[in-house]
Structure 1
């Protein structure tokens, strides 16, 4: 479906003159089919049945009003199963799921150590399904562990790097407004790319100079520098002459009402040289280690456990009170 067709769909559905098409579902089905077709023939039937089972679960969750798995989650699981199937056939010489053992799974997980936990979750789900369908007799993932701590291990920005980015986004004449907006919201207000992507015009309060971000319970007041960047982005949006309700509007979304793509937001900061997650993590790490983590979670609309991974396992010596020295006392550690 092209941009003109999407614009017509938005026009008629918004006015109640037509029902929305199944374009998104058809695209998701095509992406899943491409992943299934890449699975080697001897192992494809089981993966296809696994995908069909998860699709039924997604449909039941939708009808029950609970939280169904997203299409992206289902596609990521199929990618993992495709990679495992190719690995078993190409590197282990096995063309039957029943022949897979714990050593095969361990060798596969070792190919991408950083993705071990995420991949192991998918593999456990598949082999539980396979065992229930009598495709395998033994689940080879039972004894495997993630071997991954929940502590924060990402990279953060130094103070000099933060100052450099601040000057770039506030004074750079050739910086794209979208880059400046996503960049300023991340280090100063801890906003994720998803929150910037879904930000709408109705969420911007011109009087209080505040915006409603994501699931945050209260509007987020913007400092003068962030507000100036937001105004720049709004001026750029006006040039498109669009009815799209979102602040971040691209060439592909100006004719419709959908937000910018996730891929666009993931690359919007490429020119500055730092990924969005690294910039946002710098802010969260600082807040969690200077404030109560649960307060940070409540303010940002996050799960309380999500902020705990940013809690450092050491205490800055400058924050400890000076202990009185007593004669003959032996220092000890706790």
Structure 2
């Protein structure tokens, strides 16, 4: 095997040598007339967060961008490094993390681009005769969100707008395929009832979206009569989701605390949801949501947290969050909601069921107002878990 001239290493050992990214960065700076002052820090940034081959590949790609005749200030360089498509590329993500943490550039609009693509795919799935009205409804929702932002109120999130467009897509498909109607003005109350009957559990959510759309359509003279007038949710209020029995909770508790078979992320998410009623969104940090008081960790939760932190140290990452995945190992972003929603798949119990089980138990054994104050919830939302409970001790 031919050895490397400078270090006396074979090619395979040189490819994995930790000094290789710094040598590549030094060569890049040497051939440039005026290398940027942040180049050395960026080389150290990628070498500390990526493998040797990936770090060298990003330094080489950065060199191609620096050698062209276009502006090389951080913001312009960050925009040029982005790839076309749903992923902006590893180099763009590394540059965004490097520049934003040093206040050298503003973050990209990658999240807005992805949300725009998801909305466009939902609109394109609407049958052609019914598509223009759904596209106008999408513009109406976006304008309303911008007005809410300027007014300082609560604007609609991307997932809310996408869920509304998905509902209108499903209704348009139903009208076109099952009812043979290609005009929104032909929709009547029987069409709406038939569509809502296809998913009875989603009736309330879907009816809310349909009322918004047909109010918009009537205002813009797309329909003469609102077919949703007079319809009700036809579903009693109260908590109706399944919960775990006490024996099932004990089995899960033992599997997460007495053995090490479960993944540390699964054990942490399960224990915090089972004992503290934490949701998947709250698991990203130990500060549980918007609860007004600090939540002390019991010995079991503390031991599970220490096990998760030990697993995090073995990953050799600079990510400040407790749960670090392969996608977030080289960044500072938290674990995605999609990852957290599937962490408990091995045990067959979703995090929402664990949280609801804890809330049902607390609300039915304590004062609901105390539970609402401890969890930072609205009293009306807590009372839903008390809908079917009758305290036998208060009966005459």
TM exceeds 0.5? yes
Which residue of 31, 35, 38 maps to 2:122? 35
Q: Secondary structure at the match of 2:319?
A: coil
- Length, aligned pairs only: 309
Task: State whether residues 280 and 351 of structure 2, in contact with CA within 8 Å, keep that contact through their aligned partners in structure 1.
Answer: yes
TM-superposition CA deviations, 1:242-280 (whole Å, max 9, x none): 222221111111222222111111111111111111111
Q: TM-score, normalised by structure 1?
A: 0.90
Task: State whether residues 3 and 255 of structure 1, in contact with CA within 8 Å, keep that contact through their aligned partners in structure 2.
Answer: no
Q: Secondary structure at the match of 2:99?
A: helix
Q: Gaps (5+ residues) in structure 1?
A: 200-210, 324-334
Task: State whether residues 297 and 307 of structure 1, in contact with CA within 8 Å, keep that contact through their aligned partners in structure 2.
Answer: yes
| Counterpart Cα distance in 2 of 1:109 and 1:275 | 26
Which residue of 152, 163, 173 maps to 1:86? 173
Task: State whether residues 364 and 389 of structure 2, in contact with CA within 8 Å, keep that contact through their aligned partners in structure 1.
Answer: no
Q: Secondary structure at the match of 1:58?
A: helix
Distance 1:189 1:22, change over 3 A: same
Structure 1 stretches (4+) deviating beyond 3 angstroms? none
Which residue number in structure 1 is paired with residue 36 of structure 2?
none
TM-superposition CA deviations, 1:287-331 (whole Å, max 9, x none): 0111111211111111111111101434243x348x6xxxxxxxx
Which residue of 131, 143, 146 maps to 1:59? 146
Q: Secondary structure at the match of 2:123?
A: helix
Q: TM-score, normalised by structure 2?
A: 0.76
1:241 matches 2:313: no
Distance 1:239 1:132, change over 3 A: same
- Bigger RCO of structures 1 and 2 (CA < 8 A, at least 6 apart): 1
How far apart are residue 241 of structure 1 and its match?
A: 2.2
Between structure 1 and structure 2, the one with the greater Rg is 2
Q: Gaps (5+ residues) in structure 2?
A: 1-87
Which residue of 294, 308, 317 maps to 1:219? 294
TM-superposition CA deviations, 1:4-49 (whole Å, max 9, x none): 4323212211210011101000000000000000000000000000
Which residue number in structure 2 is paired with residue 141 of structure 1?
228
Task: State whether residues 6 and 255 of structure 1, in contact with CA within 8 Å, keep that contact through their aligned partners in structure 2.
Answer: no
Matches within 5 A, 1:286-325: 286-317=361-392, 319-320=393-394
TM-superposition CA deviations, 1:93-144 (whole Å, max 9, x none): 0000000000000000000000000000000000000000000000000111
Which residue number in structure 2 is paired with residue 10 of structure 1?
97
Q: Secondary structure at the match of 1:309?
A: helix
TM-superposition CA deviations, 1:192-214 (whole Å, max 9, x none): 111003x1xxxxxxxxxxx4211
Superposed CA RMSD in Å reads: 1.3
Which residue number in structure 2 is paired with residue 22 of structure 1?
109
| Counterpart Cα distance in 2 of 1:307 and 1:313 | 13
